[in-house]
Amino acid sequence: MILIKKTVLQSLLIKIIKTELDMTPTEMIREIRMEKAFDLLKNNSDLSIDEVAYKVGYHKPTWF
């Protein structure tokens, strides 16, 4: 029963994100990460690209 409720809520959340933001949840997360990375690079010139990648949630800097 709990699994069914989780699945329904997850599906509903995905539909809301797509409707309201016109993007998938993955695209939304990527956009949030890129905005955070931009702010970090703009305000912390001493950070390397790898450090910024890790700080915004990438486990491999090559994915950044």
pLDDT, tens digit, for every residue of 8-31?
Answer: 788 899 999 999 999 999 999 999
Cα–Cα distance, 39 to 49 (Å, whole number): 12
Cα–Cα distance, 50 to 55 (Å, whole number): 9
Closest by alpha carbon to 17, among 25, 9, 6? 25
Around 29, how many Cα atoms within 13 Å sit in the side-chain half-sphere? 8
Q: Quick one: average pLDDT of 34-56?
A: 93
pLDDT of res. 63? 83
Domain ranges of the chain: 24-64
Higher pLDDT, 2 or 32: 32
| Reported pTM | 0.75
* Amino acid identity at 8: V
Query: If you ran DSSP here, which 8-state letter would residue 10 be given?
Result: H
